[in-house]
Amino acid sequence: MSVNSTSLPFIPFTRPSFNQETIDAVAEVLRSGWVTSGPKLAEFEATLSEYFGGRPVRCFANGTATMKIALQVAGIGEGDEVITTPISWVATSNVILGVGAKPVFVDIDPISRNIDLNEVANAITPNTRAIMPVYLAGLPVNMDQLYALANQYHLRVIEDAAQAFGSKWKNRKIGSFGDLVSFSFQANKNLSTVEGGCLVLNNADEAKVAEKLRLQGLTRQGIDGMDVDMLGGKDNLTDVNAVIGLHQLKQLPSFQARRTALARQYFDAIRTEVKSAGIENLKLELPVENFIDSNWHMFQVVLPLEQLNVDRAQVMAELKDLGIGTGVHYPAITGFTLYQNLGYQTQDTPIAERIGRSIMTLPLFPGMTDEDIGRIAKALVGILKKYAKS
């Protein structure tokens, strides 16, 4: 079934890769008689802990629950302020509101599209308790600068590393150092358990609190009797999800190599097409060309809308018509009705406002072919040329 104007197969903006071994392992868990949190979860957490250099790791039902529990572990709540970025999935600031704290948005750096760490100090007040950076598309912030700021102002860091599984900083894995580091294993992420997430913690005491928070605040059950000593929720990860994660970890190096190779091809293909179309004057913004630290979760371009007689929605619609899926990650959170009603204004972070309005995610996932990249670059540049203001 094809609804587009081409006979070529549709390329979605992303697609998860689960191999036969993973599918067989899921079937085995389903037949085992124990399907919720159990031995596979314990094995997944132990394997993740080893992956992160021995730091404690606990898993949760999704990345949002993981970040909420990270804030609770850090003791952040009513009256506290948390500094974060307006360009993220809305979960980032929703969880801050959810624990009763106040998100404080600092504008982004237009090159990295991450929070501008040079602006963080200006946003600190006596109520600031934490910084919550986001590594958009898997590109980390300057981690030395981040932790220098945190030390200087005595702030906790809750890293929203949802998109950064496998990313590095100076040859160290994101998550293997730092304060509280939260990952998501949602279907679109580089490593997926369908839905899920994990938190890297500092010590066994924090891990104990995280365990209680994910299961009703339970301290014990069984023949010793039952007790609850704090208010927890129901945010546990099941063995079905955990066994998927164990197999995704084995595939991760090949996923990573493929994503990096495809990203390299994008730069080459887009530049070649721009040159042959003679539209070098258009300020099409490409990602930071970082093949060492980034896990290439996404490949995003920022459209030069002021130089075009077209808006982003129309560009996306025409690409779709050519059999190419795209996404928007993300409009500035401060523009959403909930946040406007709380008094936030998009003009306060003008770079985020512009990029949120003009950013577009091109397809990037391990199952793509080299030909797909060429086809996408040609289609994108063709549309830009058609609508370029003279």
Binding site for ligand PLP (CB under 6 A): 62-64, 88-89, 91-92, 134, 160, 162-163, 184, 186, 197
Strand pairing class (128-132; 156-160): parallel
Tell me whether residue 140 or residue 323 sits nearer to ligand PLP (CB atom). 140
Q: If we measure between CA atoms, which residue out of 37, 91, 33 comes closest to residue 60?
A: 37
CB of 380 to ligand PLP, least distance (A): 23
CB of 10 to ligand PLP, least distance (A): 23
Taking CB atoms, the residue at the shortest distance from ligand PLP is 63
Strand pairing class (128-132; 81-84): parallel
And the tokens for 297? 């979760």
Tell me whether residue 189 or residue 375 sits nearer to ligand PLP (CB atom). 189
Tell me whether residue 73 or residue 380 sits nearer to ligand PLP (CB atom). 73
CB of 333 to ligand PLP, least distance (A): 11
- Run of H or E including 40: helix 39-51
40, 173, 189, 212: the catalytic one is: 189
Centre a 10 Å sphere on the Cβ of residue 233 and count the other Cβ atoms it contains. Answer: 16
Asked if 151 and 186 touch (Cβ cutoff 8 Å), the reply is no
Q: If we measure between CA atoms, which residue out of 47, 67, 112, 56 comes closest to residue 245?
A: 47
And the tokens for 76? 């952040």
CB of 162 to ligand PLP, least distance (A): 3
CB of 387 to ligand PLP, least distance (A): 30
CB of 350 to ligand PLP, least distance (A): 21
What span, in angstroms and rounded, lies between the C-alpha atoms of 60 and 211?
9
And the tokens for 315? 């560009």
Q: How many whole angstroms from its chain centre is CA 61? A: 16
CB of 253 to ligand PLP, least distance (A): 22
Tell me whether residue 26 or residue 134 sits nearer to ligand PLP (CB atom). 134
> How many angstroms separate the Cα of 85 from the Cα of each of 69, 108, 219, 359?
19, 7, 36, 15
Tell me whether residue 91 or residue 262 sits nearer to ligand PLP (CB atom). 91
β-partners of residue 59 are 198
Whether 275 is catalytic: no
Q: Which string of DSSP letters, residue by residue, matches 122-191? A: GG--TTEEEEE-B-GGG----HHHHHHHHHHHT-EEEEE-TT-TT-EETTEETTSSSSEEEEE--TTSSS
Q: Where would I find the beta strands (DSSP E) of the chain?
A: 57-60, 81-84, 102-105, 128-132, 156-160, 168-169, 172-173, 180-184, 197-200, 218-220, 227-228, 299-302, 359-362
Tell me whether residue 15 or residue 271 sits nearer to ligand PLP (CB atom). 15
Tell me whether residue 140 or residue 197 sits nearer to ligand PLP (CB atom). 197
Q: Which positions are annotated as active-site residues?
A: 189
